[in-house]
Amino acid sequence: MYEEERKQLVELLKKKGIKDERVLDAINSIQRHLFIPDVIGFHAYKDTALPIGYNQTISQPYTVAFMTEALELKRGYKVLEIGTGSGYQAAVLIHIGMKVYSIERNFEIYSRTQKLFDRMGLRAAIRCADGTLGWEEFAPYDGIIVTAGSPIVPDNLLKQLKIGRKLVIPVGDKQTQSMKIVTKISEDENDIKSISSFAFVPLVGKQGWKEE
């Protein structure tokens, strides 16, 4: 289903500057409509964020592709995701050969996505917790991706990242954020690139926004 729509989406992402063939192949293969509510299934291959309930969203395909490409991943890397949500971003990471550890703070979303992954045979370690604290047990990671907007770059996440590797995180206010691509140079030195104009739902937690 929706093969043609997926192809068109891939063409659009190429035009918008996505070059990583593995990422484009993942977008071409993964059935995004299975990660969103049935009633809006026909919107799945538009390049937009969509509601998934509980005031949360599935990220825009361009953003998923952009962040995945920015991590500069190699097969078999261990990647930590904060904000599992629908599970689509995690599915992209799995498709390109990553070992995925993902944290979701909302219990309903967490259990729904865990069930979806079981049904689809997608293998990832998913946990219900505050992701701003990271996931110490499996650290250090070869890449960390935060898919909710944060007021700061949480120290815990930087601590759990391998030297030489990248953390990709939207940082800003609650309305708009710029994407920070943080490369950990040494234990106390980072290189940060910043790309403006992204919009994510807030990262809520000890090193994120306070719950309202």
Binding site for ligand SAH (CB under 6 A): 56-59, 82-83, 85-86, 88-89, 103-106, 109, 130-132, 147-148, 201, 203-205, 208
Contact yes or no for 192/178 (Cβ under 8 A): no
Residue number with CB closer to ligand SAH (105 or 184): 105
**Can you spell out the DSSP letters for 92-149?**
HHHHTT-EEEEEES-HHHHHHHHHHHHHHT---EEEES-GGG--GGGPSEEEEEE-SB
Closest CA to 83 of 93, 74, 73: 93
Q: Rounded to the nearest whole angstrom, what is the least distance from the CB of residue 111 to ligand SAH in the complex?
A: 12
Catalytic-residue membership of 59: yes
Task: Quote the strand ranges of the chain, DSSP E.
Answer: 50-53, 56-58, 78-82, 99-104, 125-128, 141-146, 161-172, 177-186, 189-198
Indicate which residue of 59, 86, 102, 150 is catalytic. 59
Q: Rounded to the nearest whole angstrom, what is the least distance from the CB of residue 48 to ligand SAH in the complex?
A: 13
Catalytic residues: 59
